[in-house]
């Protein structure tokens, strides 16, 4: 039996410049396109993986932003009290609270800035409660402005303390924990001092 003369033809074919593989890879332009596409996919995948990794390692600043919102709102309400109340004890309450909160707000925003977080107006005023203004206007007409103002102070202070607790639970650095602990100590000290002096709200603003 004569051997098949073509069974070794691949040897001479390769010598003549023929290469193996799919036919579409024989075109240099197609090979270049495929190579570029492959590199693009690798780069895209790498970018996605890096983004996911960074997002997992980056701590949310939302709890601290909420703290800033309540600090800003307490300052706003205390300013209303100082501008509108003629009662000395109420004005003293508002002034003292304002000094405590103002100091803590500066520290909180300063820390956020050091982490690269830039606060927008919407974030700063995130806890603004326009209902406070309307209720205080109504209370002024009914001659219960001071009592209502103190009621709002107590309500907002309670929410502020909750936001401080939430932020402390998620704090990840010693500096962050220190500033939050100092803010918590300040509001608790302020409330204890006012309680001793007998200043308290007689209007339940939760029912307004």
Q: What is the pTM of this model?
A: 0.70
Residue 62 reports pLDDT greater than 50: yes
Tell me the two tokens of residue 12.
Answer: 């001479």
Per-residue pLDDT at 122: 95
Query: What does the pLDDT look like over 6-45, one tens digit per residue?
Result: 655 554 555 555 555 566 556 666 667 676 777 777 777 7
Measured CA to CA, the distance from residue 40 to residue 201 in angstroms comes to: 66
- Among 3-12, 51-60, 74-83, 108-117, the range scoring the smallest mean pLDDT is 51-60
Per-residue pLDDT at 134: 96
Per-residue pLDDT at 176: 96
In whole angstroms, how large is the CA radius of gyration of the chain? 34
Tell me the two tokens of residue 117.
Answer: 């977080």
Cα distances (angstroms) measured from residue 180 to each of 2, 24, 64, 119, 198 = 94, 65, 9, 18, 27
Measured CA to CA, the distance from residue 146 to residue 90 in angstroms comes to: 6
Q: Which candidate, 144, 161, 148, 131, places its Cα nearest to that of 94?
A: 148
Per-residue pLDDT at 203: 56
Per-residue pLDDT at 53: 45
Per-residue pLDDT at 206: 58
Measured CA to CA, the distance from residue 23 to residue 66 in angstroms comes to: 63
Per-residue pLDDT at 40: 73
Residue 179 reports pLDDT greater than 50: yes
Residue 119 reports pLDDT greater than 50: yes
- Among 20-24, 42-46, 67-71, 195-199, the range scoring the smallest mean pLDDT is 20-24
CB of 145 within 8 A of CB of 85? Answer: yes
Per-residue pLDDT at 198: 75
Query: What does the pLDDT look like over 124-167, one tens digit per residue?
Result: 999 999 999 999 999 999 999 999 999 999 999 999 999 999 99
Q: Give all strands (DSSP E) within the chain, no chain letters.
A: none
Measured CA to CA, the distance from residue 111 to residue 118 in angstroms comes to: 11
């Amino acid at each position: 039996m004569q051997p098949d003369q073509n069974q070794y033809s691949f040897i001479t074919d390769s010598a003549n410049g023929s290469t193996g593989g799919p036919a579409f890879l024989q075109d240099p332009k197609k090979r270049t396109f495929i190579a570029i596409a492959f590199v693009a996919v690798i780069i895209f995948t790498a970018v996605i993986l890096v983004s996911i990794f960074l997002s997992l390692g980056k701590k949310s600043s939302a709890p601290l932003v909420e703290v800033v919102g309540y600090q800003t709102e307490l300052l706003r309400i205390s300013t209303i009290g100082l501008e509108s109340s003629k009662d000395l004890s109420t004005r003293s309450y508002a002034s003292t609270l304002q000094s405590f909160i103002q100091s803590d707000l500066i520290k909180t925003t300063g820390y956020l800035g050091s982490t690269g977080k830039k606060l927008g107006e919407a974030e700063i005023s995130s806890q603004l409660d326009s209902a406070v203004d309307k209720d205080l206007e109504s209370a002024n007409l009914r001659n219960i402005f001071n009592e209502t103002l103190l009621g709002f102070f107590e309500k907002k202070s309670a929410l502020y303390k909750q936001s401080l607790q939430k932020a402390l639970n998620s704090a990840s650095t010693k500096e962050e924990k220190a500033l939050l602990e100092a803010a918590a100590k300040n509001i608790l000290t302020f409330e204890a001092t006012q309680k001793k002096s007998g200043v308290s709200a007689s209007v339940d603003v939760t029912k307004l």
